[in-house]
Amino acid sequence: MSGFLAVLVVVLIFVVIFQIAKASEYVSILKGEKKARQQNNRINGFLLIAFLVLGLIGVYYCNEAMRGKILGEAASEQGESIDNMIMWTLVMTGVVFVITQVLLFWFAFKYQEKEGKAAFYFPHNNKLEVIWTVIPAIALTILVAIGLRHWFRITSDAPKDAMVVEITGKQFNWLIRYPGKDGLLGSKYFKNINDATNPVGQDWDDNLNKDDFMANEMHLVVGKPVKLIIGSRDVVHDVGLAHFRLKMDAVPGIPTTLWFTPKFTTTQMKEKTGNPDFVYEISCDQMCGVGHYSMRAVIVVETQKEYDKWAAAQKSQYELAHAAPAGNAPAAPAPAEKPAEDTTKKTVAANLNH
């Protein structure tokens, strides 16, 4: 019944619109169609100019009001370059936007229908076609080249002194693994995955896994390059690092990487933003299921001394996986019983003496 009423309402709306259009047409005929059309064009022309002026003022005001207030300053060295790239992209496209919009609205006003003025038929101009095809093509090629340069930079080999952190996405949280003192991550195999003891599927026969540890937060050292090894356990996720201006897909079975250098500690960012609750965040920037909204982790950027202290307090995943469950510790072994004395020889010896 409700569906029928909805259809009926839609039909009635169309009927009303049609009747209004017909009434407008009849009024135009009574007033003189040509005169009414010219009057409407004049009103629309002034409205378009007003919309242009107010729209450009609004764009400028919003840009100034929101400048630097959404994410603030880029928190990585690579992010600075990406911010510059975005700025120049906005400048170039913004200039084109303003010129084309001004021309569009001004032409609509200037060349409106007027008495005694005939439209000029202008079908083709080779020079104009070349100008508005070649110039945008060159500009876009430059922008693409700049973007590729930044892309190759963050996905290239990280510096040799870079710390390594592995981050694996799964519905709906992030699994973060660190190498131990050897600085190398152990191998893993998906069939070894066990949510309780081995969430990323580490191979316990690989000695490099013996000191790897995991945490719910990503701890990084300020001013030190970090290489992220990114993967997924189930569907495609995306590691979003908005404060660092970086992101990278987490694809099942295909590890991806990127590297960057944090510029400010979490404490420094709290002071810069004036927000005592500020935290760096890892978000999932790829729709990955019903719990996508909750897929979030925290990054702590700190000094080398603070990081070393935190890392020293972590237990390796191997140790946690092989620890006896609480309350099920094996009982202490009973003392070995003294073997019963063999009296056979004594009995034989006694019989011989007799």
Residue 76 Cα distances to 5, 245, 318, angstroms: 57, 8, 33
Q: Which among 218, 282, 281 is positioned nearest to 248, based on CA atoms?
A: 282
Token reading at 287: 């729709």
- H-only helix segments in 67-168: 77-110, 126-155
224: left (phi over 0), alpha (psi -120 to 50) or beta: beta
At residue 263, φ and ψ (nearest 5 deg) are -100, -30
What pLDDT does 330 receive? Answer: 40
**For residue 160, which amino acid is it?**
K
The residue to which tokens 């510029």 are assigned = 263
Helix (H, G, I), strand (E, B) or coil at 224: coil
Based on the number of CB atoms within 10 Å of its own CB, is 172 exposed (0-12), middle (13-18) or buried (19 or more)?
A: middle
Chain centre to alpha carbon of residue 217: 17
Map residue 208 onto helix, strand or coil: helix
Structure tokens at 294: 């909750």
Q: Residue 32 region, left (φ>0) first, then alpha (ψ -120 to 50), else beta?
A: left
Question: What is the model's pLDDT at position 42?
Answer: 80
- Phi–psi pair at 345, nearest 5 degrees: -65, -40
Which tokens hold the place of 121?
A: 């038929």
The pLDDT of residue 343 is 42
Residues in the chain: 354
Spatial distance between the Cα atoms of 226 and 235, rounded to a whole number of angstroms: 25
pLDDT at 163: 95
Place of tokens 């609750």: 277
Cβ count near 187 (within 10 Å): 12
3-state secondary structure of 183: coil
CA distance linking residue 259 with residue 218, whole number of Å: 14
Residue type, 137: A
Q: Angle, nearest 10°, between helix axes 33-66 and 77-110? A: 160
**Domain residue ranges in the chain:** 18-74+100-114, 163-322
The secondary structure of 234-253 as a DSSP string is SS-EEEEEGGGTEEEEEBBT
Q: Are 250 and 283 in contact (CB under 8 A)?
A: no
Q: What is the mean pLDDT of each run of 10 residues along the chain (354 residues)?
A: 74 80 66 68 84 89 79 88 90 89 88 76 84 90 92 92 94 94 91 92 93 94 96 95 94 94 94 91 93 93 95 92 58 41 40 37
pLDDT at site 219: 96
- What CATH class is the domain 163-322? mainly beta
